[in-house]
Chains A and B, each alone.
Chain A
Amino acid sequence: MSTSLPPRSLGVGRVLIAVYAILALAATARSVVQIIEDFDAAPVAYALSALSGVVYIVATVALVRPGLVWYRIAWATISFELLGVLVVGTLSIFDQELFPSDSVWSFYGSGYLFIPLVLPVLGMIWLYGRRPAVTTDQVVAPA
Chain B
Amino acid sequence: MIEVFTWIQVAVAVSAGMLCLVLGFAGKTPADLTLGSLALVELLLVVQLVVAILAPAFGNVATGSVLEFYTYLISALLIPPAAMVWALVERSRWSTVILGVAALSIAVMVYRMQQIWLYQVA
Report if A and B associate in a common complex.
yes
Which chain B residues lie closer than 8 Å to A143 at the CB level?
Answer: 92-94
Q: A18-B101, A19-B101, A143-B93 are in contact. Are A33 and B67 (CB under 8 A)?
A: yes
Size of B's binding interface in residues, CB under 8 A: 24
State in angstroms the CA–CA spacing of A37 and B68 once bound together: 9
Are B98's CB and A33's CB within 8 A? no
B94 touches A14 (CB 8 A): yes
B105 at interface by CB-CB < 8 Å: yes
Q: Digit string of B54-80 for contact with A (CB within 8 Å is 1, else 0)?
A: 000000000001011001101100110
Q: How far is the CA of A25 from the CA of B67 in the complex (A)?
A: 16
A interface size (C-beta, 8 A)? 18
Residues of chain B within 8 A of A113, CB atoms compared: 108
Q: Which of A12, A18, A22, A33 contacts B68 (CB 8 A)?
A: A33
Footprint of B on A, CB under 8 Å? 11-12, 14-15, 18-19, 21-22, 25-26, 29-30, 32-33, 36-37, 113, 143
Subset of 5 A-B contacts with CB under 8 Å: A12-B94, A15-B98, A18-B86, A29-B74, A29-B75
Given contacts A14-B95, A26-B109, 16 further A-B contacts (CB under 8 A): A11-B94, A12-B94, A14-B98, A15-B97, A15-B98, A15-B101, A18-B98, A18-B102, A19-B101, A21-B82, A22-B102, A26-B105, A32-B71, A33-B67, A37-B67, A143-B94
